[in-house]
Amino acid sequence: DAGVTQSPTHLIKTRGQQVTLRCSPKSGHDTVSWYQQALGQGPQFIFQYYEEEERQRGNFPDRFSGHQFPNYSSELNVNALLLGDSALYLCASSLFRGGNYNSPLHFGNGTRLTVT
């Protein structure tokens, strides 16, 4: 049973550049959420995708955008990178179909983004 997979594992970018992170959800899951975790902090919710639409969004600027594909995989795009965007980016999947609000999130191993 494949878990949540993310790529790449590490990434180094320069300020002002753009980055795309990728995520494949756990088998059987239909919802993907993205979180940003700065060092020493808990994960912060960026947004959530279900049925290829952004369903909820956290307090992140429009530089952060995403997409979900028909196979439920997802991408996170960040434009005009800032030093403060350096963090661990976590993808989490869950099963929401039918209104399963209590479905626990299962996390991937994350992408460590460093902006220099």
Partner 1 sequence: QKEVEQNSGPLSVPEGAIASLNCTYSDRGSQSFFWYRQYSGKSPELIMSIYSNGDKEDGRFTAQLNKASQYVSLLIRDSQPSDSATYLCAVLPGLTGGGNKLTFGTGTQLKVEL
Distance in angstroms (rounded) separating the CA atoms of residues 4 and 104 = 13
Report yes or no: 54 and 47 within 8 Å, Cβ to Cβ: yes
Report yes or no: 89 and 81 within 8 Å, Cβ to Cβ: no
Q: Determine if 31 is a binding residue for partner 1 (CB under 8 A).
A: yes
Minimal CA–CA distance to 7: which of 75, 78, 64? 75
Q: Please, what is the minimum distance in Å from the beta carbon of residue 81 to partner 1?
A: 22
Q: Which among 11-19, 33-41, 63-71, 74-82 is the span making contact with partner 1, rule CB under 8 A? A: 33-41
Cis peptide before 25 (omega within 30 of 0): no
Looking at the Cβ atoms of 56 and 79, the one nearer to partner 1 is 56
Q: Determine if 106 is a binding residue for partner 1 (CB under 8 A).
A: yes
Contact positions vs partner 1 (CB under 8 A): 31, 33, 35, 40-45, 48, 50, 55-56, 58, 88, 90, 92, 94, 96, 100-110
